[in-house]
Amino acid sequence: MPELPEVETVRRDLSRVYAGDKLARIVVTGRRTVRRHSPDALAALDGQVLSSVGRLGKYLWLEWEDGHVLVAHLRMSGQMLAVEPGAPTEPHTHAVFYFSRGELRFVDPRTFGELFLASPLPDRDGTAPAGPPAAGPSTGARVAELAHLGPDALVAEAGYLKTTFAGRRGPLKSLLVDQRVLAGIGNIYADEICFEAKVRPDRPGGSLKSRELQRVAASTRSVLGAAISLRGSTLADQQYSDLFGAQGGYQSRHNVYGRLALPCTSCGVPVQRVRFGAKSAFWCPRCQR
């Protein structure tokens, strides 16, 4: 399940391999892969040079020299794979980018992932600027489809959480995985963040004290940062691999996620699972309060 650390790993590799390279064309075969507009619109990228690869939360975007922005989301099972030209096409390959430096393939068994060309945000006076969105480091904030996202979870701050969580009765974990609150956290890292912060995942968000919010913000940054350093988590289902098909290395550092009834890595008490609504969380009943 690609979350922020996995998407950031893919972003760095995409930038390293393809930035400055020319795209001949994209061939989309997946019926659901481009669903916000006609797949034919991607022809606008034919012959374009990739200038940079950005990320906000779990969204990736590829920015081209003429200002076009192609947004990608891997959702549950999407993978970006750099392959040798002419390599056998594996099942569930939905799009192929033909770069000068080689083929980039979008593979996604469950077809939740998507690609789309960004629409520019309207200017302050309400009129949409002519042409594609302007280039620059703040590209994500200028993409209308990403305007609902909260701050990237890598820069989570306690003060922001205090304001945002105030009066909220929903469980902490539900707030952490809400992309409007913080962008980038999913099921795995929400549990790991709550563990490192020593807070129960089912605590009502608004009940957290300032000291606890400090720990949640700091743990968000440190858990995600450590996971990026180890190139993300690859679970037993193998749904995540990097651009070159390699696994991540952070799964061996998981303290609670997927460890039901196994001893807590800190205190040895069996890890439990708590359910709230349709969701659940792994947690240590001794370390987290």
Sign, CA dihedral 167-173-177-182, equals positive
- Answer for which of 75, 162, 198, 286 binds DNA (CB under 7 A) is 75
- Position among 3, 13, 63, 192 found at the interface with DNA (CB under 7 A): 3
Per-residue interface string for the shown chain with DNA, residues 119-158, x marking contact by CB under 7 A: --------------------------x--x----------
Of 84, 261, 278, 289, the one binding DNA by CB under 7 A: 278
Nearest to 29 by CA among 118, 99, 90: 90
CA 10, CA 15: separation in Å to the nearest integer? 8
Residue 207 is classified by DSSP as G
> x/- binding map, residues 165-204, to DNA, per CB under 7 A?
---xxxx--x--x-x------xxx----------------
- Closest approach of DNA to the CB of residue 110, in Å: 4
3-state secondary structure of 53: strand
Identify which of residues 94 and 231 has a Cβ nearer to DNA in the complex. 94
Closest separation in Å from C-beta 78 to DNA: 10
- Closest listed residue to residue 45, CA positions, set 19, 12, 68, 17: 68
Is residue 94 part of the contact set for DNA (CB under 7 A)? no
By CB under 7 A, residue 236 contacts DNA: yes
Residues at the interface with DNA (CB under 7 A): 1, 3, 32, 57-59, 73, 75-77, 91-92, 109-112, 145, 148, 168-171, 174, 177, 179, 186-188, 205, 236-237, 276-278, 280
